[in-house]
Amino acid sequence: MKAIRLLLFDGSFIFPECILIFGLILILMMDSTSDQKDISWFYFISSTSLVMSITTLLF
């Protein structure tokens, strides 16, 4: 029971996934609201969120 509680409430396990989900939501919002599709921003946001997630996993 203690292990389940640690998995659910320790933020370090879910934080990398939250970074990726936030990046995905940001890209979807930008894509749906803008008329001009600036693909370079999408690449920048996706790669930045991926690097931040990997860095969080390593540390």
Phi, psi of 43 (to 5 degrees): -65, -40
pTM for this model (two decimals): 0.73
How many domains are contained in the chain?
Answer: 1
Is there a contact between 37 and 31 (Cβ–Cβ < 8 Å)? yes
Q: What is the pLDDT of residues 22-59, one digit of tens each?
A: 999 999 999 898 888 778 889 999 999 999 999 988 88
Torsion of CA 44, 49, 50, 53, to 10 degrees: 160
Task: Supply the Cα-derived Rg of the chain in whole angstroms.
Answer: 15
Domain span including residue 24: 2-58
Is there a contact between 57 and 16 (Cβ–Cβ < 8 Å)? yes
